[in-house]
Each structure stands twice: as structure tokens, then as C-alpha cells.
Amino acid sequence: MHDPKRLVAQGYDSIADRYTMWAQRVRAEERARYTQLLHETLPTHATLLELGCGAGLPTTRTLAQRFRVTGVDISAQQLARAKRHVPTAHFIQADMTYLTFTRACFDAVIAFYSLMHIPRQEYAALFCAIASWVRPGG
């Protein structure tokens, strides 16, 4: 039996450089719109958790200019690049469904195009965990 999450990690590890270049060109308008919404909604230095941060480009880098960002990704190669691209952010290599944080520790939790890699039967538990990590009003 194969582990689909391991397959995702290995896949992103193997295409890390190509994916980094590609990700900066696709869905640029959507990323910019949602990033702008965060800038308009959250105070400077707010704490953000980004699930599936990849190599940190372009979204993590932009957000880290104003916010305290923790990026999570399952791919070691993507995170190695993210640490170089966004040295001010904090990064965790993990399966997002296994994360544990204290209650109400983030002002926002974001996920750009990463939830599709999670098996649907794990959504409910993940969304409950995310809701617990967000501060009231976040």
C-alpha cells in the first residue's frame, strides 16, 4: 500500500526548483487579491500560519514583510528554499494534519492551494484544529 502524503512530499521534493518558478507565474491575481485582503484586515506584526508554504515565493515572502509568519510544508526541499527566500519567517516541516499548537495562537491561518493534497476524510479534524488555533476575531 502506498502513502499518498509521502508521494506528495517526494513529488514536491523532486520538482522543487521547477515548481518554485512555476508557482510565481500562476494564479498571481488571486494570490495578490487574498494577500491584499490580509494586509487590509490584520494589524502589522499579526501572527500568520501558512499551511503549504512551498518555497515561500511569492506569498510567504510578501506576507513576512508585514507579519510574523510560520510556514508549514511537507516537502523538505521546498522548506530549504523557503528558509533561503524568507529568512525572517519560521518554518516547520510537517504534515499539516498532525500539527499541534496552543489555542488561539494565530491571528490568521491561510492555505493557498495546499488543502487539495489532504485526503477528504481528514478535512473535518483539520478544520477543527485550525479553528482552535485562530484567536477570537481572527
Q: Residues 101-131: pLDDT tens digits?
A: 999 999 999 999 999 999 999 999 999 999 9
Q: What φ, ψ does residue 94 adopt, rounded to 5°?
A: -165, 160
Mean of the pLDDT values across residues 55-64? 95
Indicate if the pLDDT at residue 86 is higher than 60.
yes
Which CATH number among 3.40.50.150, 3.30.1490.20, 3.40.50.300, 3.60.15.10 corresponds to the domain 4-133? 3.40.50.150
Integer angstrom CA distances of residue 97 from 53, 55, 63, 70, 82: 14, 20, 23, 15, 20
What pTM, to 2 d.p., does this model score? Answer: 0.90
The average pLDDT across 50-76 equals 96
Residue of higher predicted confidence among 25 and 65: 65
